[in-house]
Amino acid sequence: MMRTRPLKVALLGCGVVGSEVARIMTTHADDLTARIGAPVELAGVAVRRPDKVREGIAPELVTTDATALVKRGDIDVVVEVIGGIEPARGLITTAFEHGASVVSANKALLAQDGAALHAIAEQHDKDLYYEAAVAGAIPLIRPLRESLAGDKINRVMGIVNGTTNFILDKMDSTGAGYQEALDEATALGYAEADPTADVEGFDAAAKAAILAGIAFHTRVRLDDVYREGMTEVTAADFASAKEMGCTIKLLAICERAEDGASVTARVHPAMIPLSHPLASVRGAYNAVFVESDAAGQLMFYGPGAGGSPTASAVLGDLVAVCRNRLSGTTGPGESAYAALPVSPMGDVVTRYHISLDVADKPGVLAQVATVFAEHGVSIDTVRQSGKDGEASLVVVTHRASDAALTGTVEALRKLDTVRGVASIMRVEGE
């Protein structure tokens, strides 16, 4: 039986994403009513600039007092799309305390304080949903915490930032340098005026923390995630990758140790074979590759940012939360029962591509190989080229720990015949 009293929704933020949420709530009102079992009503919109014209939103709904809005008591669901830590954290907490469930797209807050927010939601018997916090429109969080809840996930590896993927794809396809590709991304609106959060991996690291926590039933905070940006990736790195049949992507990698006793979460540029599904992800798209015991290998692909894609994920959560509200239930909360330790980056084992500038004379290769052997790092392939007394030596290793590789590189720098370490790149996806 259809309920006639509408479920009331408070919207915190009305920027690119928030305005799309409001628009879809209005234009798809009848469909949303049919899917939920009751009408949904936009009861208020909290903004910073009240004088700005917002098409489709009645002026009387707009307020600058977000706290008063979430304290009203008649609000069923608060949708938070303002981002950042504060005032978002305080507003979400207040919403729970005054009887509302919450839908959020706030990856930074969830990566930092997700456990505390889940605890408050549970204390007040309310929902906390955040599909839009990771990978935009791509259904990812719900499959991980619901569809795959009966499986054992071993690895989650993906491209979770559209800006960096656009830049790296442009460098790969055109031979452009980093700055040139960044300038184009900025001109097209893919990169912010200050792209630091994207290109230095902060955005991807927050998403990795969220994904690792859900996948491994373990609390993983942003501080637990190793982060390395992509600003040092060069056209020469792409040339080397192509010689190996690879390309370069900024990857978020969350994996369970082989013995199952710990997990790791990391973000960094990596070479991946062209045969890997992630290698074909172009432009500003996102894709996440999941490996589990029973389901095997799964890939989730689609637009990872933008107003409409992100609003789609928000509305999906809104429908789910409203259905729960009507039935008097709540959806899945935090699952952290495994409580696995998060290992440091030094314990991570992978392959490496190291490019060295060396003297072009007999015995150099033997010296370099000896250093690798002394640190327990096995060499897979070596390629050397040079003239006029200078040479380039490219070494690709078998799997080795990050700590062992770090020690190897430190020792290589001390050799008189090694002029410098041009680049170090991890090789993933094999």
Q: Which sign does the torsion angle of CA 315, 109, 343, 377 carry?
A: positive
Residue the block writes with tokens 């994996």: 255
Instruction: Give the DSSP per-residue string, 67-132.
Output: HHHHTSS--SEEEE-S-SSTTHHHHHHHHHHTT-EEEE--HHHHHHHHHHHHHHHHHTT--EE-GG
Q: For the chain, percent helix, then strand, then coil, each to nearest 5?
A: 40, 25, 35
Structure letter (DSSP) for residue 425: E
Query: 237-296: per-residue pLDDT in tens?
Result: 999 999 999 999 999 999 999 999 999 999 999 999 999 999 999 999 999 999 999 999
pLDDT confidence bin for 360, thresholds 50/70/90: confident
At residue 415, does pLDDT exceed 70? yes
pLDDT confidence bin for 425, thresholds 50/70/90: very high
Residue the block writes with tokens 């090789």: 427
**pLDDT (0 to 100) of residue 170:** 96
Contact status, residue 290 vs residue 298, Cβ threshold 8 Å: yes
Cα gap 191→180, rounded to integer Å:
13
pLDDT confidence bin for 430, thresholds 50/70/90: confident
At residue 3, does pLDDT exceed 70? no
Residue the block writes with tokens 């938070």: 80
Average pLDDT over residues 292-307: 92
CA 192 to chain centre: 17
207 is catalytic: yes
Cα gap 269→232, rounded to integer Å:
9
Contact status, residue 307 vs residue 20, Cβ threshold 8 Å: yes
Average pLDDT over residues 151-179: 96
**pTM, rounded to two decimals:** 0.95
The residues, any chain, with a CB within 8 Å of residue 407's CB and separated by 6 or more, are 375
At residue 218, does pLDDT exceed 90? yes
Cα gap 268→201, rounded to integer Å:
7
Query: 39-77: per-residue pLDDT in tens?
Result: 999 999 999 998 888 888 999 999 999 999 999 999 999
Cα gap 83→79, rounded to integer Å:
11
162's enclosing H/E stretch is helix 162-174
Cα gap 384→386, rounded to integer Å:
7
Catalytic residue from among 8, 107, 126, 207 = 207
Average pLDDT over residues 370-385: 95
Q: Give the count of alpha carbons within 13 A of 324, CB side only.
A: 22
Cα–Cα nearest to 354, from 369, 343, 344 = 369
